[in-house]
Amino acid sequence: MARAPTPALMILGTGSNVGKSLIVAGLCRLFADRGLKVRPFKPQNMSNNAAATPGGEIGRAQALQARAARITPHVDMNPVLLKPESETGSQIVLQGRVAGHLASGDFARRGDFLPKVLESFARLGEGADLVIVEGAGSPAETNLRARDIANLGFARAAGVPAVLIGDIDRGGVIASLVGTHAVLDADDRAMIRAFAINRFRGDVTLFAPGVEAIARATGWPCLGVVPWFAAANRLPAEDGLDLTAARKPGAPLKIAVPVMPGIANFDDLDPLKLEASVDLVMVRRGQSLPGDAGLVILPGSKTTMRDLAVLRDEGWDIDLAAHRRRGGHVLGLCGGYQMLGRVVRDPLGLEGPAGEVAGLGLLDVETTLDRDKTVREVDVAHAASATTGRAYEIHLGHTDGPDTVRAPFRVDQRAEGAASRDGHVLGSYLHGIFTSNAIRSAYLAQFAGTSGSMPNYESDIEATLDALAAHLARHLDIEALLALAREQRRQPMR
């Protein structure tokens, strides 16, 4: 006798950045705290913010959702991860492992991934009470529908009912919800069973006529109007659209971060945003690095050599040289670490034509890119303070040279990273080092005025997820959502 399908519900959005990821995270925490074995799932994600799991890479948002569900992240939670490498193509990560390159116009190939997506979805459902699926972008992109695996293409293939989320804060929510209904064909439309409004500000009763208008035009019931959740910025951001500064003018330590096109794993900065003693400045193209910054952080990059060229085009290399002459500190993480060395070699043409480029020369090291990708979680010790924590690595290539003898970290009893002779320039392949309160406190202690009470980053994340779950419980019809998920799944359609 075949096992009944695991209850599942898909959260779709009228566009990107309408709050799908956050709502899924909040629902995962809410249902987990009700005693359900809940699993997050996103068929296809596009992001350079990745997380390391024992089986490989997944989107960082799915790692947060797994945390919300109080479970360990797994590659089946995000079977297709597209990591943009340029305006015209992305690296394909399939079930955690690199599986080639996808040109932006090669939409037909995406449909080839559907069997793997359904395989991961089925495996994830084994032993679970509920799977909450997150869509990507909007299901109304009908030009992409034929080979869609991220939204209603998946919903129909797996027989999963969906709820459509509209973001009222950006304006036009009635048109976006009714317009989505209008452009979908009948079979796709039937998979969407209800809608909800997100990010409402003000008196919700004033929008009652709007809710009625949407329901009348679409035939979908409204399962809630969710007010703006102010603490959302305390959770890790999913993508570059969420890159914001945490300005605290007058704080003892100003940290400048040049924002380059290939920026990756920028959630490394999130713990620093919570520090009262830190004024975090995201420096955009066309701006100079501030001369009064005590620390410049070069974050991770998906395209180290291309971002090095951008850094020079913006004159940030000159700003960095001046910063060093003033005695300023520099920290390079992953791709940023590679940029700090004397040269970056790409003999296999992994980032473009084979060749090499000069680095910034702030560390006496050299980097060679190769095909073998390092993806792992590690225990780490800060060499200067002996404080410890957890971190992860996701990178291509290896870095060697004289400055590695002054490694700032130790990983599994081996030296990791490099430091200049004066200790003011550090480089490391480690991501997530600042989530350790002890390591973050020890590193910041070298800067005047940064000692004292440090926020507990991990506790703050947990408290925010709890608050998010309570927020959704107050404003969504949770029982109706659960009933939708528990309905006998429709016969899968293709």
- Nearest Cα residue to 129 out of 222, 27, 57: 27
CA distance 66 to 123: 15
The catalytic residue positions are 334, 431
Q: Are 388 and 436 in contact (CB under 8 A)?
A: yes
CA distance 255 to 278: 7
CA distance 28 to 39: 7
Going by their DSSP bridges, the two strands 80-86 and 44-46 should be labelled as parallel
Run of H or E residues at 271? helix 270-273
Rounded to the nearest 5 degrees, what angle is found at the Cα of 72, between the Cα atoms of 68 and 78?
85
Q: List the structure tokens of 288.
A: 């100079």
Specify the long-range contacts of residues 404-410, CB closer than 8 Å, at least 24 apart: 404/365, 407/383, 408/382, 408/383, 408/384, 409/380, 409/381, 409/382, 409/383, 409/433, 410/380, 410/381, 410/383
Q: Which residues contact 473 (CB under 8 A, 6 or more apart)?
A: 30
Q: List the structure tokens of 91.
A: 């690296």
Q: Beta strands of 217-342 (E only): which ranges?
A: 222-227, 253-258, 263-264, 278-283, 295-298, 300-301, 329-333
DSSP 431: B
Run of H or E residues at 470? helix 457-475
Give bridge partners of residue 84 from the DSSP assignment. 90
Longest distance between any two alpha carbons in the chain, whole Å: 74
Radius of gyration of the chain (CA): 23
N-terminal to C-terminal alpha carbon distance within the chain: 25
Neighbours of 405 (CB within 10 A): 10
Going by their DSSP bridges, the two strands 89-94 and 80-86 should be labelled as antiparallel
Within 13 Å of residue 453, how many CA atoms lie on the same side as its CB? 3
